[in-house]
Chains A and B, each alone.
Chain A
């Protein structure tokens, strides 16, 4: 969801190609049996107790105030046509 100018496209392509080019280095490595690192400390099963807490009204008010467009408690966007 970005519109880029031609200038941006050229600039980004150059830089992106450079990074992708770097990753060619990986070809030197034997990666078949290597486990990926998704989180560094191998955490597991981090769970929260099922207890409900409501936000206070000041929070709800402030959050809506930050919206670019809002009305009657709703966030507004241009009409979506399916």
Chain B
């Protein structure tokens, strides 16, 4: 049985629709991300699950039970806020004990649980700290401990990393993911950062304009984006504009910039349709050699080279279009120069078409 079920969820404010017919089933223990640009309805969806926003229509089920009539305190959820929302008039201990005291736990039990929770988040010994005496990362850990100590059925995280600096964000990403998988707690994670969503999630729902644009595993979404919006939002990509010119059972022929390429066919395209080929920079190779079997090759000109430390990034003109290639710098990385004509290659498995 699914743990969280959103059924035709709608939220309207006056004449604007913030969340428009969202239906998702989230499994027990799953790490599920709602990913999208600001204003796509992801936070509103999360706040409706928590009970902070009323729903306009549809239903939210937790463990098969409709909860839209329940106030937030009756939903058994844990919510972590973007700004952590540590109570400033209480120290760390009292913040974490807050939920336990409301549940009338005996004092020694509270002490034991709070101590265990602090250990779990690596904050032992900081019981007496106040909110303004902690870094963002520490507040984040306290916010998580405060939520986890009440053993909620579902964990809701609203952009919990966006207020942290970059290094800490990377570290916390893995830390939260580990904590979540150790606890096996169903988690819904809202973010606008595709890197976070890809690394942490079991499944991602990419949202746009209140609707789910694509629902799938990180791999699906990265490699098989459903449309141009998803392809551009998740990761970097070059779009090669062209036309489907021939189709067979195994694949199709795609013509762009005056050259023909092999590509995977998708059911919503037919011969003669305009389409765009998505090429991820790391899947595009640049070489003097001719392409092998199952590889596409195009003749291109190097227009820009930039050194990125671990990788080299080329901008390549293919016809009147631009393809970006990024490859790791290794011992046999060829030295290319601006204006040089090269073979731009990518594997057929990476030749994914999008309707335009």
A and B: real partners?
no
